[in-house]
Structure 1
Amino acid sequence: MSKTDLPKIANIPTFTNTPPCGHQEQAWIDPLGGRIVIPHLEPANDGGFVPALPSVATRKIALRSKASKRGALVTYFGERRAVVFESHLELMTALMLIRIPGVVDLIDQPPAVLYVDHDGVVHRHTFDYLVAFADGRRWAVAVKPYERAVKKNLVSTLGLIAAQNPAFADQFHLVTEKNFSRTQVSNALLMHHISYEVDQQVDAIVGRLVASMSGTCTIADLVTAAGAGSRAYRSIVRFLARGTLSLKSGGHIRYSSIVGKAA
Protein backbone atom coordinates (compact mmCIF):
# COMPACT_ATOMS: atom_id res chain seq x y z
CA MET A 1 0.00 0.00 0.00
CA SER A 2 1.13 3.57 -0.61
CA LYS A 3 1.51 6.15 2.13
CA THR A 4 -1.50 8.03 0.76
CA ASP A 5 -3.61 4.90 1.01
CA LEU A 6 -2.93 4.23 4.65
CA PRO A 7 -2.03 7.41 6.52
CA LYS A 8 0.36 5.94 9.03
CA ILE A 9 2.23 7.93 11.63
CA ALA A 10 5.74 6.94 10.70
CA ASN A 11 9.10 7.50 12.35
CA ILE A 12 7.62 8.18 15.77
CA PRO A 13 9.86 7.42 18.73
CA THR A 14 7.97 4.53 20.34
CA PHE A 15 8.44 3.48 23.94
CA THR A 16 6.79 0.22 24.94
CA ASN A 17 6.87 0.79 28.68
CA THR A 18 10.67 1.24 28.58
CA PRO A 19 12.86 4.33 28.31
CA PRO A 20 14.56 5.02 24.97
CA CYS A 21 18.07 3.65 24.49
CA GLY A 22 20.76 6.16 25.41
CA HIS A 23 18.43 8.53 26.97
CA GLN A 24 -10.23 28.18 15.40
CA GLU A 25 -12.26 25.96 13.44
CA GLN A 26 -10.78 24.20 10.50
CA ALA A 27 -12.50 24.90 7.20
CA TRP A 28 -11.99 22.94 3.98
CA ILE A 29 -12.78 23.66 0.34
CA ASP A 30 -14.83 20.84 -1.13
CA PRO A 31 -13.15 19.89 -4.46
CA LEU A 32 -16.53 18.77 -5.85
CA GLY A 33 -18.39 22.02 -5.45
CA GLY A 34 -16.02 24.66 -4.17
CA ARG A 35 -18.13 25.21 -1.07
CA ILE A 36 -16.64 25.67 2.38
CA VAL A 37 -17.35 22.82 4.76
CA ILE A 38 -16.85 22.92 8.52
CA PRO A 39 -16.10 19.25 9.30
CA HIS A 40 -17.78 19.20 12.72
CA LEU A 41 -21.08 20.73 11.56
CA GLU A 42 -22.53 17.75 9.76
CA PRO A 43 -26.25 17.09 9.28
CA ALA A 44 -28.12 14.16 10.75
CA ASN A 45 -29.46 11.53 8.37
CA ASP A 46 -32.95 13.05 8.56
CA GLY A 47 -31.64 16.41 7.38
CA GLY A 48 -31.79 18.10 10.79
CA PHE A 49 -28.77 19.13 12.80
CA VAL A 50 -28.01 17.01 15.88
CA PRO A 51 -25.30 18.41 18.18
CA ALA A 52 -22.42 16.07 18.90
CA LEU A 53 -21.77 14.86 22.43
CA PRO A 54 -19.32 17.05 24.33
CA SER A 55 -15.62 16.33 24.62
CA VAL A 56 -14.49 14.01 27.42
CA ALA A 57 -11.25 15.99 27.91
CA THR A 58 -10.14 16.19 31.54
CA ARG A 59 -8.31 19.46 30.95
CA LYS A 60 -10.38 22.33 29.64
CA ILE A 61 -8.83 24.36 26.88
CA ALA A 62 -9.42 28.00 25.98
CA LEU A 63 -11.13 28.02 22.59
CA ARG A 64 -9.88 31.54 21.81
CA SER A 65 -6.26 32.14 20.99
CA LYS A 66 -4.35 34.65 18.85
CA ALA A 67 -1.39 32.28 18.56
CA SER A 68 -2.92 28.98 17.45
CA LYS A 69 -5.99 27.37 15.88
CA ARG A 70 -8.38 25.89 18.41
CA GLY A 71 -11.66 24.11 18.06
CA ALA A 72 -13.28 20.69 17.95
CA LEU A 73 -13.48 17.83 15.48
CA VAL A 74 -16.38 15.37 15.59
CA THR A 75 -15.47 11.68 15.65
CA TYR A 76 -17.83 8.80 14.89
CA PHE A 77 -16.92 5.80 17.02
CA GLY A 78 -20.44 4.52 17.62
CA GLU A 79 -21.60 8.00 18.56
CA ARG A 80 -20.80 11.52 17.42
CA ARG A 81 -18.49 13.16 19.96
CA ALA A 82 -16.38 16.29 19.91
CA VAL A 83 -12.60 16.01 20.21
CA VAL A 84 -10.93 19.30 21.08
CA PHE A 85 -7.61 20.52 19.70
CA GLU A 86 -5.35 23.40 20.70
CA SER A 87 -3.36 23.76 17.48
CA HIS A 88 -3.51 23.00 13.78
CA LEU A 89 -0.92 20.27 14.39
CA GLU A 90 -3.20 18.59 16.95
CA LEU A 91 -6.08 18.71 14.48
CA MET A 92 -3.93 17.15 11.74
CA THR A 93 -2.75 14.47 14.17
CA ALA A 94 -6.33 13.62 15.18
CA LEU A 95 -7.33 13.25 11.52
CA MET A 96 -4.44 10.87 10.94
CA LEU A 97 -5.07 8.83 14.08
CA ILE A 98 -8.74 8.13 13.37
CA ARG A 99 -7.79 6.73 9.95
CA ILE A 100 -5.52 4.02 11.39
CA PRO A 101 -7.18 0.58 10.98
CA GLY A 102 -8.45 -0.91 14.23
CA VAL A 103 -8.92 2.39 16.08
CA VAL A 104 -12.21 2.40 18.00
CA ASP A 105 -11.90 5.56 20.08
CA LEU A 106 -9.89 8.75 20.38
CA ILE A 107 -9.79 10.34 23.84
CA ASP A 108 -8.68 13.95 23.94
CA GLN A 109 -6.79 15.27 26.98
CA PRO A 110 -7.03 12.01 29.00
CA PRO A 111 -6.36 11.96 32.76
CA ALA A 112 -2.91 13.25 33.68
CA VAL A 113 -0.11 10.89 34.70
CA LEU A 114 2.59 11.50 37.30
CA TYR A 115 6.28 10.93 36.77
CA VAL A 116 9.55 11.67 38.57
CA ASP A 117 12.31 13.41 36.61
CA HIS A 118 16.06 12.79 36.87
CA ASP A 119 16.29 15.27 39.76
CA GLY A 120 13.62 13.50 41.80
CA VAL A 121 10.95 16.15 41.14
CA VAL A 122 7.36 14.94 40.63
CA HIS A 123 5.55 16.26 37.55
CA ARG A 124 2.11 15.87 35.97
CA HIS A 125 1.74 15.31 32.24
CA THR A 126 -1.45 15.31 30.17
CA PHE A 127 -1.20 13.60 26.82
CA ASP A 128 -2.98 15.17 23.89
CA TYR A 129 -4.65 11.91 22.85
CA LEU A 130 -5.22 8.38 24.08
CA VAL A 131 -5.95 6.03 21.18
CA ALA A 132 -7.94 2.85 21.81
CA PHE A 133 -7.81 -0.15 19.46
CA ALA A 134 -10.30 -2.97 18.98
CA ASP A 135 -7.79 -5.51 20.29
CA GLY A 136 -7.42 -3.64 23.60
CA ARG A 137 -4.16 -1.82 22.87
CA ARG A 138 -3.78 1.83 23.80
CA TRP A 139 -1.44 4.51 22.51
CA ALA A 140 -0.60 7.64 24.48
CA VAL A 141 0.16 10.43 22.02
CA ALA A 142 1.97 13.70 22.70
CA VAL A 143 1.80 16.33 19.95
CA LYS A 144 4.45 19.02 19.75
CA PRO A 145 6.19 21.08 17.03
CA TYR A 146 9.53 19.49 16.22
CA GLU A 147 11.74 22.34 17.40
CA ARG A 148 9.90 22.66 20.71
CA ALA A 149 10.05 18.89 21.23
CA VAL A 150 13.82 18.95 20.74
CA LYS A 151 14.27 22.01 22.97
CA LYS A 152 12.25 20.41 25.79
CA ASN A 153 13.94 17.01 25.29
CA LEU A 154 10.46 15.51 25.12
CA VAL A 155 11.80 12.15 23.93
CA SER A 156 13.57 11.68 27.25
CA THR A 157 10.50 12.83 29.19
CA LEU A 158 8.27 10.35 27.39
CA GLY A 159 10.75 7.61 28.18
CA LEU A 160 10.44 8.41 31.90
CA ILE A 161 6.65 8.54 31.70
CA ALA A 162 6.49 5.22 29.84
CA ALA A 163 8.77 3.48 32.32
CA GLN A 164 6.83 4.77 35.35
CA ASN A 165 3.28 4.36 33.98
CA PRO A 166 3.17 0.94 32.29
CA ALA A 167 -0.57 0.53 32.91
CA PHE A 168 -1.51 3.78 31.20
CA ALA A 169 -0.72 2.73 27.63
CA ASP A 170 0.98 0.01 25.63
CA GLN A 171 2.91 2.48 23.52
CA PHE A 172 3.93 6.11 23.97
CA HIS A 173 4.28 8.26 20.84
CA LEU A 174 5.62 11.68 20.02
CA VAL A 175 4.10 13.30 16.92
CA THR A 176 5.56 16.36 15.20
CA GLU A 177 4.90 18.04 11.86
CA LYS A 178 7.64 15.83 10.40
CA ASN A 179 5.54 12.68 10.76
CA PHE A 180 3.19 13.28 7.85
CA SER A 181 2.75 15.42 4.76
CA ARG A 182 0.08 18.01 4.03
CA THR A 183 -1.16 15.77 1.24
CA GLN A 184 -1.74 12.88 3.65
CA VAL A 185 -3.62 15.20 6.01
CA SER A 186 -5.70 16.62 3.16
CA ASN A 187 -6.70 13.11 2.09
CA ALA A 188 -7.51 12.16 5.70
CA LEU A 189 -9.72 15.25 6.04
CA LEU A 190 -11.51 14.44 2.80
CA MET A 191 -12.17 10.87 3.96
CA HIS A 192 -13.31 12.07 7.38
CA HIS A 193 -15.79 14.47 5.86
CA ILE A 194 -17.25 12.03 3.33
CA SER A 195 -16.95 8.62 4.99
CA TYR A 196 -20.01 9.05 7.24
CA GLU A 197 -22.40 10.16 4.53
CA VAL A 198 -25.12 7.69 3.62
CA ASP A 199 -25.87 6.88 -0.02
CA GLN A 200 -26.87 3.23 -0.06
CA GLN A 201 -27.94 3.20 -3.70
CA VAL A 202 -24.64 4.43 -5.13
CA ASP A 203 -22.56 2.55 -2.55
CA ALA A 204 -24.19 -0.67 -3.74
CA ILE A 205 -23.31 0.12 -7.37
CA VAL A 206 -19.72 1.05 -6.54
CA GLY A 207 -19.43 -1.98 -4.26
CA ARG A 208 -20.30 -4.31 -7.13
CA LEU A 209 -17.76 -2.59 -9.37
CA VAL A 210 -15.05 -2.87 -6.72
CA ALA A 211 -15.84 -6.55 -6.14
CA SER A 212 -15.38 -7.28 -9.83
CA MET A 213 -12.14 -5.31 -10.18
CA SER A 214 -8.93 -6.95 -11.33
CA GLY A 215 -5.90 -4.74 -11.49
CA THR A 216 -6.16 -0.97 -11.22
CA CYS A 217 -8.04 1.92 -12.78
CA THR A 218 -8.55 5.62 -12.21
CA ILE A 219 -11.25 7.02 -9.98
CA ALA A 220 -12.66 8.65 -13.12
CA ASP A 221 -13.04 5.20 -14.72
CA LEU A 222 -15.05 3.96 -11.73
CA VAL A 223 -17.18 7.11 -11.68
CA THR A 224 -17.99 6.64 -15.37
CA ALA A 225 -18.82 2.95 -14.89
CA ALA A 226 -21.08 3.75 -11.92
CA GLY A 227 -22.97 6.39 -13.88
CA ALA A 228 -23.64 8.49 -10.80
CA GLY A 229 -21.36 11.48 -11.25
CA SER A 230 -20.03 13.15 -8.12
CA ARG A 231 -22.09 10.80 -5.92
CA ALA A 232 -19.92 7.95 -7.24
CA TYR A 233 -16.76 9.95 -6.49
CA ARG A 234 -17.86 10.41 -2.89
CA SER A 235 -18.76 6.74 -2.64
CA ILE A 236 -15.28 5.78 -3.87
CA VAL A 237 -13.77 7.99 -1.17
CA ARG A 238 -15.85 6.07 1.38
CA PHE A 239 -14.47 2.77 0.07
CA LEU A 240 -10.96 4.22 0.39
CA ALA A 241 -11.74 5.30 3.97
CA ARG A 242 -13.00 1.80 4.84
CA GLY A 243 -9.90 0.19 3.39
CA THR A 244 -11.77 -1.75 0.70
CA LEU A 245 -9.99 0.27 -1.98
CA SER A 246 -6.45 1.60 -1.81
CA LEU A 247 -4.63 4.38 -3.60
CA LYS A 248 -1.97 3.09 -5.94
CA SER A 249 -0.76 6.54 -6.96
CA GLY A 250 0.58 9.34 -4.80
CA GLY A 251 -0.76 12.82 -4.24
CA HIS A 252 -4.23 14.11 -3.44
CA ILE A 253 -7.32 11.98 -4.02
CA ARG A 254 -8.49 13.13 -7.46
CA TYR A 255 -10.42 11.79 -10.41
CA SER A 256 -7.08 10.95 -12.00
CA SER A 257 -5.89 8.96 -8.94
CA ILE A 258 -5.21 5.27 -9.57
CA VAL A 259 -6.99 2.86 -7.24
CA GLY A 260 -7.21 -0.89 -6.77
CA LYS A 261 -8.47 -3.46 -4.32
CA ALA A 262 -6.77 -3.29 -0.97
CA ALA A 263 -4.34 -6.11 -0.31
Structure 2
Amino acid sequence: MRHEHFIKQHMLNIRAGIKVDPSVPTETTYHKPTVPPRYTPVLPSRGNRKPSVKSPFNWRGSQPSLDGDRTMHFESSIELKAGRIFRADRNFVELREQWPTVKYQGADGEIHKHTFDFWLRLKCGKRKLVAAKPTDIVVSSGLLEILRRIHRGGIAGYADTISLVTEAFANAAANANAEWILLSRRNRNEDEYRAALEFVTGMSGPMRFWDMLTVTPLIAYRRTAIWNLIDEGVLKPVEPGRITDASLLVKASQ
Protein backbone atom coordinates (compact mmCIF):
# COMPACT_ATOMS: atom_id res chain seq x y z
CA MET A 1 0.00 0.00 0.00
CA ARG A 2 1.33 3.43 -0.91
CA HIS A 3 2.09 5.78 1.98
CA GLU A 4 -0.69 8.21 1.04
CA HIS A 5 -3.17 5.35 0.66
CA PHE A 6 -2.22 4.04 4.10
CA ILE A 7 -2.85 7.47 5.61
CA LYS A 8 -6.22 7.74 3.85
CA GLN A 9 -7.27 4.29 5.05
CA HIS A 10 -6.13 5.11 8.58
CA MET A 11 -8.26 8.27 8.61
CA LEU A 12 -11.26 6.39 7.20
CA ASN A 13 -10.90 3.78 9.94
CA ILE A 14 -10.82 6.49 12.61
CA ARG A 15 -13.94 8.09 11.13
CA ALA A 16 -15.72 4.72 11.12
CA GLY A 17 -14.65 3.85 14.65
CA ILE A 18 -12.54 0.91 13.47
CA LYS A 19 -9.54 0.41 15.74
CA VAL A 20 -6.78 -1.49 13.93
CA ASP A 21 -3.75 -2.55 15.96
CA PRO A 22 -0.70 -1.22 14.05
CA SER A 23 1.83 -3.23 16.03
CA VAL A 24 3.82 -5.98 14.32
CA PRO A 25 2.72 -9.41 15.64
CA THR A 26 5.33 -11.67 17.18
CA GLU A 27 4.23 -14.61 15.03
CA THR A 28 3.22 -14.89 11.39
CA THR A 29 -0.37 -15.95 10.68
CA TYR A 30 -0.62 -18.33 7.75
CA HIS A 31 -3.68 -19.46 5.84
CA LYS A 32 -4.94 -22.87 6.92
CA PRO A 33 -7.16 -24.18 4.11
CA THR A 34 -9.00 -27.42 4.85
CA VAL A 35 -8.18 -28.61 1.33
CA PRO A 36 -4.44 -28.13 0.79
CA PRO A 37 -3.53 -26.32 -2.43
CA ARG A 38 -2.40 -28.46 -5.32
CA TYR A 39 0.30 -27.47 -7.72
CA THR A 40 0.15 -29.04 -11.16
CA PRO A 41 1.66 -28.06 -14.51
CA VAL A 42 -0.27 -25.19 -16.08
CA LEU A 43 -2.07 -26.23 -19.24
CA PRO A 44 -2.09 -23.89 -22.26
CA SER A 45 -4.95 -21.56 -23.08
CA ARG A 46 -7.88 -22.83 -25.14
CA GLY A 47 -8.21 -19.48 -26.91
CA ASN A 48 -7.83 -18.99 -30.63
CA ARG A 49 -5.14 -16.38 -30.28
CA LYS A 50 -2.51 -15.16 -27.86
CA PRO A 51 -2.11 -11.38 -27.55
CA SER A 52 1.33 -9.87 -27.95
CA VAL A 53 3.42 -9.87 -24.80
CA LYS A 54 3.88 -6.10 -24.70
CA SER A 55 1.84 -3.08 -25.74
CA PRO A 56 2.32 0.68 -25.25
CA PHE A 57 -1.47 1.08 -24.96
CA ASN A 58 -3.01 -1.84 -23.05
CA TRP A 59 -2.28 -4.30 -20.29
CA ARG A 60 -0.95 -7.70 -21.26
CA GLY A 61 -0.75 -10.87 -19.19
CA SER A 62 -2.57 -13.99 -18.08
CA GLN A 63 -4.66 -15.26 -15.19
CA PRO A 64 -5.90 -18.70 -14.09
CA SER A 65 -8.87 -20.25 -15.84
CA LEU A 66 -12.14 -20.96 -14.06
CA ASP A 67 -11.01 -24.46 -13.05
CA GLY A 68 -7.49 -23.22 -12.24
CA ASP A 69 -5.81 -25.70 -14.58
CA ARG A 70 -5.17 -23.47 -17.58
CA THR A 71 -3.90 -20.01 -18.33
CA MET A 72 -6.18 -17.31 -19.74
CA HIS A 73 -4.66 -14.44 -21.70
CA PHE A 74 -5.89 -10.86 -21.50
CA GLU A 75 -4.94 -7.76 -23.46
CA SER A 76 -6.60 -4.98 -21.49
CA SER A 77 -7.42 -4.07 -17.91
CA ILE A 78 -11.11 -4.57 -18.67
CA GLU A 79 -10.46 -8.14 -19.85
CA LEU A 80 -8.41 -8.84 -16.71
CA LYS A 81 -11.10 -7.48 -14.37
CA ALA A 82 -13.98 -9.03 -16.30
CA GLY A 83 -12.29 -12.43 -16.29
CA ARG A 84 -11.74 -12.18 -12.55
CA ILE A 85 -15.36 -11.14 -11.94
CA PHE A 86 -16.64 -14.02 -14.08
CA ARG A 87 -14.44 -16.49 -12.16
CA ALA A 88 -15.82 -15.27 -8.83
CA ASP A 89 -19.46 -15.50 -9.97
CA ARG A 90 -20.91 -18.93 -9.16
CA ASN A 91 -23.53 -18.54 -11.90
CA PHE A 92 -20.84 -19.33 -14.47
CA VAL A 93 -19.68 -22.94 -14.75
CA GLU A 94 -17.47 -22.69 -17.84
CA LEU A 95 -15.28 -19.88 -19.12
CA ARG A 96 -13.10 -19.61 -22.19
CA GLU A 97 -11.19 -16.58 -23.40
CA GLN A 98 -10.26 -15.43 -26.93
CA TRP A 99 -12.88 -17.75 -28.41
CA PRO A 100 -14.73 -18.31 -30.67
CA THR A 101 -13.70 -16.67 -33.93
CA VAL A 102 -16.88 -15.92 -35.89
CA LYS A 103 -17.25 -14.95 -39.54
CA TYR A 104 -19.63 -12.17 -40.59
CA GLN A 105 -20.41 -10.11 -43.64
CA GLY A 106 -19.20 -6.53 -43.36
CA ALA A 107 -20.70 -3.36 -44.78
CA ASP A 108 -18.32 -3.72 -47.74
CA GLY A 109 -19.88 -7.05 -48.63
CA GLU A 110 -16.71 -8.95 -47.72
CA ILE A 111 -16.43 -11.75 -45.17
CA HIS A 112 -14.58 -10.73 -42.00
CA LYS A 113 -13.63 -12.49 -38.75
CA HIS A 114 -14.11 -11.42 -35.14
CA THR A 115 -12.71 -13.17 -32.05
CA PHE A 116 -14.75 -12.72 -28.90
CA ASP A 117 -12.99 -11.95 -25.63
CA PHE A 118 -14.99 -14.49 -23.58
CA TRP A 119 -17.33 -17.41 -23.99
CA LEU A 120 -19.41 -18.32 -20.93
CA ARG A 121 -21.73 -21.14 -19.92
CA LEU A 122 -24.22 -20.53 -17.12
CA LYS A 123 -25.63 -23.01 -14.62
CA CYS A 124 -28.90 -23.05 -16.55
CA GLY A 125 -27.04 -24.16 -19.67
CA LYS A 126 -27.28 -20.88 -21.57
CA ARG A 127 -24.16 -19.71 -23.40
CA LYS A 128 -22.90 -16.18 -23.85
CA LEU A 129 -20.45 -14.50 -26.20
CA VAL A 130 -18.84 -11.50 -24.52
CA ALA A 131 -16.92 -8.61 -26.03
CA ALA A 132 -14.96 -6.58 -23.46
CA LYS A 133 -13.95 -3.08 -24.54
CA PRO A 134 -13.66 0.46 -23.09
CA THR A 135 -16.64 2.66 -23.90
CA ASP A 136 -14.68 5.06 -26.09
CA ILE A 137 -13.28 2.18 -28.17
CA VAL A 138 -16.75 0.67 -28.55
CA VAL A 139 -17.80 3.84 -30.36
CA SER A 140 -14.64 4.50 -32.36
CA SER A 141 -14.12 0.91 -33.52
CA GLY A 142 -17.68 0.32 -34.71
CA LEU A 143 -17.90 -2.72 -32.44
CA LEU A 144 -21.66 -2.46 -31.95
CA GLU A 145 -22.27 -2.70 -35.68
CA ILE A 146 -19.96 -5.74 -35.86
CA LEU A 147 -21.86 -7.46 -33.04
CA ARG A 148 -25.18 -6.70 -34.73
CA ARG A 149 -23.97 -8.24 -37.98
CA ILE A 150 -22.70 -11.32 -36.19
CA HIS A 151 -26.04 -11.71 -34.38
CA ARG A 152 -28.01 -11.33 -37.61
CA GLY A 153 -25.80 -13.96 -39.23
CA GLY A 154 -26.64 -16.47 -36.49
CA ILE A 155 -24.71 -17.64 -33.42
CA ALA A 156 -26.59 -20.83 -32.59
CA GLY A 157 -23.49 -22.91 -33.16
CA TYR A 158 -21.65 -21.05 -30.41
CA ALA A 159 -24.01 -19.33 -27.99
CA ASP A 160 -27.50 -18.10 -27.19
CA THR A 161 -26.78 -14.41 -26.60
CA ILE A 162 -24.13 -11.75 -27.20
CA SER A 163 -23.11 -9.34 -24.44
CA LEU A 164 -20.85 -6.32 -24.22
CA VAL A 165 -18.97 -5.36 -21.05
CA THR A 166 -17.16 -2.08 -20.46
CA GLU A 167 -15.53 -0.37 -17.48
CA ALA A 168 -19.05 0.13 -16.09
CA PHE A 169 -19.14 -3.62 -15.40
CA ALA A 170 -15.42 -4.34 -14.93
CA ASN A 171 -14.89 -1.56 -12.39
CA ALA A 172 -12.46 -1.31 -9.49
CA ALA A 173 -15.07 -2.12 -6.82
CA ALA A 174 -16.34 -5.29 -8.51
CA ASN A 175 -12.78 -6.35 -9.23
CA ALA A 176 -11.73 -5.87 -5.58
CA ASN A 177 -14.69 -7.93 -4.36
CA ALA A 178 -13.85 -10.68 -6.86
CA GLU A 179 -10.24 -10.75 -5.66
CA TRP A 180 -11.35 -11.29 -2.07
CA ILE A 181 -13.83 -13.99 -3.07
CA LEU A 182 -11.26 -15.92 -5.10
CA LEU A 183 -8.63 -15.64 -2.35
CA SER A 184 -11.04 -16.76 0.36
CA ARG A 185 -12.42 -19.58 -1.76
CA ARG A 186 -8.91 -20.98 -2.14
CA ASN A 187 -8.14 -20.67 1.60
CA ARG A 188 -11.48 -21.84 2.98
CA ASN A 189 -11.34 -23.54 6.37
CA GLU A 190 -14.42 -25.58 7.26
CA ASP A 191 -14.13 -25.09 11.04
CA GLU A 192 -13.87 -21.33 10.67
CA TYR A 193 -16.69 -21.34 8.14
CA ARG A 194 -19.04 -23.22 10.48
CA ALA A 195 -18.15 -20.91 13.37
CA ALA A 196 -18.86 -17.83 11.23
CA LEU A 197 -22.10 -19.35 9.94
CA GLU A 198 -23.27 -20.06 13.49
CA PHE A 199 -22.44 -16.49 14.47
CA VAL A 200 -24.42 -14.87 11.66
CA THR A 201 -27.40 -17.23 12.03
CA GLY A 202 -28.68 -15.13 14.92
CA MET A 203 -28.44 -11.84 13.01
CA SER A 204 -31.77 -10.00 12.87
CA GLY A 205 -30.56 -6.96 10.93
CA PRO A 206 -27.50 -5.38 9.30
CA MET A 207 -24.11 -5.69 10.94
CA ARG A 208 -20.82 -4.07 10.09
CA PHE A 209 -18.14 -6.30 8.56
CA TRP A 210 -15.56 -5.18 11.12
CA ASP A 211 -17.82 -6.02 14.04
CA MET A 212 -18.04 -9.59 12.77
CA LEU A 213 -14.25 -9.84 12.96
CA THR A 214 -13.64 -8.50 16.47
CA VAL A 215 -15.41 -11.43 18.18
CA THR A 216 -12.67 -13.88 17.22
CA PRO A 217 -9.01 -14.13 18.32
CA LEU A 218 -7.65 -14.31 14.75
CA ILE A 219 -9.24 -11.68 12.54
CA ALA A 220 -7.60 -13.02 9.36
CA TYR A 221 -9.29 -16.42 9.68
CA ARG A 222 -12.72 -14.94 10.40
CA ARG A 223 -12.32 -12.49 7.50
CA THR A 224 -11.80 -15.40 5.12
CA ALA A 225 -14.86 -17.17 6.53
CA ILE A 226 -17.06 -14.07 6.17
CA TRP A 227 -16.01 -13.75 2.53
CA ASN A 228 -16.89 -17.44 2.09
CA LEU A 229 -20.38 -16.61 3.35
CA ILE A 230 -20.63 -13.73 0.89
CA ASP A 231 -19.38 -16.01 -1.87
CA GLU A 232 -22.08 -18.58 -1.14
CA GLY A 233 -24.85 -15.99 -0.88
CA VAL A 234 -25.44 -16.37 2.86
CA LEU A 235 -24.49 -12.72 3.43
CA LYS A 236 -24.85 -9.73 1.13
CA PRO A 237 -23.95 -6.04 1.40
CA VAL A 238 -26.69 -3.53 2.16
CA GLU A 239 -25.36 -1.20 -0.53
CA PRO A 240 -23.69 -2.03 -3.86
CA GLY A 241 -20.02 -1.30 -4.45
CA ARG A 242 -16.78 -2.31 -2.85
CA ILE A 243 -17.10 -4.32 0.35
CA THR A 244 -14.86 -2.98 3.11
CA ASP A 245 -14.60 -3.31 6.87
CA ALA A 246 -17.09 -0.45 7.16
CA SER A 247 -19.71 -2.15 4.94
CA LEU A 248 -23.01 -3.28 6.43
CA LEU A 249 -23.92 -6.90 5.73
CA VAL A 250 -27.24 -8.68 6.11
CA LYS A 251 -28.39 -12.24 5.66
CA ALA A 252 -29.49 -12.84 2.09
CA SER A 253 -32.92 -13.95 3.26
CA GLN A 254 -33.61 -10.55 4.83
What's the TM-score once normalised by structure 2's chain length?
0.78
- The 2-side partners of 1:180 and 1:130 are apart by 16
Residue 131 of structure 2 corresponds to residue 133 of structure 1: no
1:83-102 aligned within 5 A: 83-102=72-91
- The 2-side partners of 1:51 and 1:210 are apart by 39
Q: Which residue of 2 aligns with 1:162?
A: 151
Farther-moved stretch of structure 1 (173-182 vs 135-144) = 173-182
- The 2-side partners of 1:255 and 1:249 are apart by 13
Q: Deviations over 1:65-121 (max 9, x none)?
A: 3332211111343x5332211111110111222333421011011131111123321
Consecutive unaligned residues of structure 1, counting only runs of 5 or more, are 1-28, 33-42
Report if aligned partners of 1:205, 1:226 keep a CA contact under 8 Å in 2: no
Q: Which residue of 1 aligns with 2:199?
A: 209
1:63-82 aligned within 5 A: 63-77=53-67, 79-82=68-71
Q: What value does the CA root-mean-square deviation take over the aligned residues?
A: 2.7
Report if aligned partners of 1:113, 1:126 keep a CA contact under 8 Å in 2: yes
Does the C-alpha gap of structure 1 residues 80 and 243 become closer, same or farther in structure 2, counting only changes over 3 Å? farther
Higher relative contact order (CA 8 A, sep 6+): 1
- The 1-side partners of 2:192 and 2:110 are apart by 60
- The 2-side partners of 1:81 and 1:117 are apart by 34
Identity within the alignment, %: 28
Does the C-alpha gap of structure 1 residues 112 and 180 become closer, same or farther in structure 2, counting only changes over 3 Å? closer
Q: Which residue of 2 aligns with 1:115?
A: 104
Aligned counterpart for 1:234 among listed residues 201, 224, 228: 224
- The 1-side partners of 2:51 and 2:170 are apart by 25
- The 1-side partners of 2:114 and 2:94 are apart by 21
Tell me how far 1:239 sits from its aligned partner: 1.5
Does the C-alpha gap of structure 1 residues 209 and 81 become closer, same or farther in structure 2, counting only changes over 3 Å? farther
The residue matched to 1:177 in structure 2 has which SS?
coil
What's the TM-score once normalised by structure 1's chain length?
0.76
- The 2-side partners of 1:73 and 1:153 are apart by 28
Q: Which residue of 2 aligns with 1:12?
A: none
Residue 106 of structure 2 corresponds to residue 106 of structure 1: no
- The 2-side partners of 1:66 and 1:154 are apart by 22
